[in-house]
Chain A
């Protein structure tokens, strides 16, 4: 049973460009959350997708957008890249939570470097 997969593993982009990161959730999961983890910091919640809609969003500008497909896979898009967008982007999948204890399973992340 494959866990959460993310692609690509590493990515180098130039300031001002656009990037798309991809995530396939663990089998049986229908919810995908995205996190940004800058070097030396904890992950920060970007947004969550369920039923192809954005359910909740963290404190990130509109340059960050996403999409969820009918097969529950998800994309994170970042426009007009800034140097500060360099980070590890983590995807986490789960079944739609109805209790505080529901567990998220994380992928290995995509390391984005903006030059």
Chain B
């Protein structure tokens, strides 16, 4: 069975500092994709970044980067230069072949950015 684990229920970071949010996953599938979403208090899930299991380079999207370690089955999100607007819940998620219509989410990490 597929599973996503996020061991940090809550994190604090100083404004302008970098922060790493942890994600480990469990799957027996060889082909899969990993996602990070941000959920502000408004409730809407916002896509941040994607990493495919066969991608050789770590994904980057602006201030977001994904530290992908396939052998360790980890896909940590790094946010550089934190901003007050980064305060939100962050979810790691996974989709795999053949049931790639079904996305599995982790329990989330609450990030608070301190001025």
Interface positions of A (Cβ within 8 A of B): 31, 33, 35, 40-45, 48, 55-56, 58, 88, 90, 92, 97, 99-109, 111
Interface size class of B (residues with CB under 8 A): 20 to 34
Cross-chain contact B44 with A109 (CB below 8 angstroms):
yes
Interface positions of B (Cβ within 8 A of A): 4, 31-33, 37, 42-47, 50, 52-53, 91, 93, 95-97, 99-108
> Taking the nearest CB of chain A, how far is it from the CB of B71, in angstroms?
19
Cross-chain contact A101 with B43 (CB below 8 angstroms):
no
B106 to A, closest residue via Cβ: A42
Cross-chain contact A100 with B101 (CB below 8 angstroms):
no
Residues from chain A with Cβ under 8 Å of B103 in the complex: 33, 45, 104
How far apart are the CA atoms of A108 and B100 in the complex, in Å? 23
Given A41-B107, A55-B101, A109-B43, 11 other A-B residues pairs in contact with their CB atoms under 8 A: A40-B107, A41-B108, A42-B106, A43-B91, A43-B105, A56-B101, A90-B45, A100-B97, A101-B50, A106-B46, A108-B42
How far apart are the CA atoms of A100 and B98 in the complex, in Å? 9
Cross-chain contact B43 with A44 (CB below 8 angstroms):
no
Cross-chain contact B31 with A106 (CB below 8 angstroms):
no
Residues from chain B with Cβ under 8 Å of A105 in the complex: 47
Contact with B102, one of A56, A103, A106, A108 (Cβ below 8 angstroms): A56
B104 to A, closest residue via Cβ: A45
B45 to A, closest residue via Cβ: A106
How far apart are the CA atoms of A102 and B35 in the complex, in Å? 11
How far apart are the CA atoms of A102 and B97 in the complex, in Å? 12
Contact with A56, one of B4, B47, B99, B108 (Cβ below 8 angstroms): B99
How far apart are the CA atoms of A88 and B43 in the complex, in Å? 8
Contact with B101, one of A42, A48, A101, A106 (Cβ below 8 angstroms): A48
Residues from chain B with Cβ under 8 Å of A97 in the complex: 100-101
How far apart are the CA atoms of A110 and B103 in the complex, in Å? 19
